[in-house]
Structure 1
Amino acid sequence: MTDEPGLERPYTFAEPIPTERLVLRPMRLADADAVHAYQSREDVCRYLLFEPRDRARVAERVTEYVAHDRLERTGDYVQIAVERRSDGRLLGDVYFQLKSVPNRTGEIGWTFHPDHHGQGYASEAARAVLGLAFRRLGLHRVVAELDPRNDASIRLCRRLGLREEAHFVRDLWFRGEWADTGVYAILDEEFARAGEAAPADPD
């Protein structure tokens, strides 16, 4: 237990969030096969903090994702399924965590199946989650931490308006070697100026 206060307006992720081409919705147990299709790939996991997962491990993780649906206190997170509206296909997911409630800071991340890269889906989904963070949760700052070798994620950060704030050199023991960490961030006023309704660019 903690004495730290929660958000003034706690959020339970129960209702889908529609965008122009997508539906952002809570993860379901039935999504395990679709999630396994990308979490099992070496090219997808190359810059993530876990190795490719087998079907059983993915099912365990999806069960955990389903149980996490409330954002109120530091450490709370949601793993948001990103579904294409035209055919209901799950394309990937967006991770969002309350990194610090006192400092009104969140953290965002994303993982998409490579078959759906280059069509702007990650931009569209992440922009909607940033809108949730700033407009609904009233956060001040959202960060993304990534491997600086991950050029695709860096390009996505820049399209979303996130600035590079830090580059930590060899700070993380990662798959048998020291690796760097890049930190990108955007403030609420910066997001408002950029406009969350900006057109989605190819990812």
Structure 2
Amino acid sequence: MITTERLVLKPYCDKDMDRMIELLTNEKIKETFMIHDFKSRQEAEKMFWKLQENSLSEEHYEFGIYLENELIGFINDVEIEGKKIELGYVIHPDFHNKGYATEVLRAAIKDLFEKGFEEVITGAFVSNIASCRVMEKCGMVRIDKEEDIEYHGKVHHCIYYAIKKNRK
């Protein structure tokens, strides 16, 4: 568990299923965060159980983001390669523009460096200016990695940011 000034990052509990499914199926979130389109409630529940298992595992970096015990988002590993980790994060649109994403990413970077990681990487669609600003506010710098990703029938240009342990 990680506690920030206003938020708590912790593993999911069973009662979080409905809220997580709301996050995973939110159309606004799906514009900027690549999420599978679920064909049924059962398929979405199966994803919740997998994410909950990951949040309880030492093999993954997966936390729910809670404001006053309400799940408002999540942060998780996209890829772990040695001492490098790539993260993704989501904040429910009702909670945008309040600094929560910056608060969470700063706390996660600090935690990951304390756990021995040397570099934290995040990516965003180039059109997701808010997420790019969050990364910059956390001391991350744009790196020389870019790619075009086909998602929901469109090609999105993705850019990446990183911060190394010795550069806080």
Give your verdict on TM over 0.5.
Answer: yes
* Number of the residue aligned with 1:59: 45
Shift of 1:128: 1.1
1:70 matched to 2:61: no
Shift of 1:52: 5.0
- Aligned Cα root-mean-square deviation (Å): 1.9
The percent of aligned pairs where both chains have the same amino acid is: 23
Is the Cα–Cα contact under 8 Å of residues 41 and 52 in structure 1 kept in the other structure?
no
Alignment of 1:26-175 (within 5 A): 26-51=11-36, 53=38, 55-68=41-54, 69-71=56-58, 76-84=59-67, 87-97=68-78, 99-101=80-82, 104-135=83-114, 137-166=115-144, 168=146, 171-175=148-152
Is the Cα–Cα contact under 8 Å of residues 28 and 62 in structure 1 kept in the other structure?
no
Q: What TM-score does the superposition give when structure 1 sets the normalisation length?
A: 0.74
1:190 matched to 2:129: no
Q: What per-residue deviation string (whole Å, max 9, x for no partner) do you get for residues 49-81 of structure 1?
A: 22554543332111001212334xxxx423211
Is the Cα–Cα contact under 8 Å of residues 65 and 78 in structure 1 kept in the other structure?
no
Separation (CA, whole Å) in 2 of partners of 1:98 and 1:176: 24
What is the aligned residue count? Answer: 166
Residue segments in structure 1 that go unaligned for 5+ positions in a row: 1-15, 192-203
The amino acid across from 2:43 in the alignment is R
Q: What per-residue deviation string (whole Å, max 9, x for no partner) do you get for residues 105-126 of structure 1?
A: 0111111111111111111112
* Number of the residue aligned with 1:21: 6
Residues 177, 41 of structure 1: CA spacing in aligned structure 2 closer, same or farther, 3 A cutoff?
Answer: same
Separation (CA, whole Å) in 2 of partners of 1:153 and 1:79: 19
The amino acid across from 1:177 in the alignment is K
SS at match of 2:32: coil
Separation (CA, whole Å) in 2 of partners of 1:95 and 1:114: 18
Larger radius of gyration: 1
Separation (CA, whole Å) in 2 of partners of 1:97 and 1:179: 18
Further displaced range: 20-29 or 50-59: 50-59
Shift of 1:143: 0.3
Separation (CA, whole Å) in 1 of partners of 2:88 and 2:133: 13
Separation (CA, whole Å) in 1 of partners of 2:155 and 2:101: 28
The amino acid across from 1:66 in the alignment is Q
Is the Cα–Cα contact under 8 Å of residues 97 and 107 in structure 1 kept in the other structure?
yes
Is the Cα–Cα contact under 8 Å of residues 75 and 90 in structure 2 kept in the other structure?
yes
